[in-house]
Amino acid sequence: GAGWLYLRRQKEQRLRQRRLRDLRALALGQGDFQLQDTSGTPRSRSDLLGQWVLLYFGFTHCPDVCPEELEKLCRAVELLEEVPGLPPVQPLFITVDPARDDAAALGRYLHDFHPRLQGLTGTAEQVRAAAGAFRVYVSAGPPDPDGDYVVDHSVLTFLLGPDGLVRDCYGRSRTAEELAKSVRGHMESYEPLPP
């Protein structure tokens, strides 16, 4: 009986490892990106390794959706900070409008949301590559007579694990409390994917 249980456990472990390898092959956000933070320091996806990250793509001229999503993301981070023993979560905002969102504009915009909220920008090509790695849809609308325009984009918040892989993504309907609960669940059940 004990031998059968041992063999069954070994088989389940092999199946779980194979499933995790398959998930790694399908995972979003695997490509590296080269962007700059609000101080102009170059940043890449590899800088995020070893930490939990809540990532949102948006733009500073967004009239309502992006501010609401950033407030929700930052509130979830605050809720997680209240739980003793949990690792910190890094809130991160990547612009989808690099033409207007340079490092200085990002710094001014993100200042009031959360003290640890980081913002990243870059050239149009760099931003497009970062958004593409996460399959984020981005399309700038036509400018109005004043030259202002809206950028249509996917409204998703991504949870990245310490291994840098997307562990979950959340749409607009999720509350800050639901985000925090989900992130905590991922932290408590975290198992790195095999290479």
**Cα gap 130→132, rounded to integer Å:** 5
Q: Tens digit of pLDDT for each residue in 88-132?
A: 999 999 999 999 999 999 999 998 899 999 999 999 999 999 998
State the pTM of this model: 0.83
Walk me through the domains of the chain, giving residue ranges and CATH numbers: 2-188 (3.40.30.10)
169 carries a ligand binding annotation = no
Q: How far apart are CA 93 and CA 183, in angstroms?
A: 17
CA dist., res. 19 & res. 118, Å (int): 33
Cα three-residue angle 48-54-59, rounded to 5 degrees: 100
* Amino acid at the residue 109: Y
Q: Is 62 assigned to a binding site?
A: yes
Residue-wise pLDDT for 7-49, tens only, equals 888 887 777 666 666 655 555 556 678 999 999 999 998 899 9
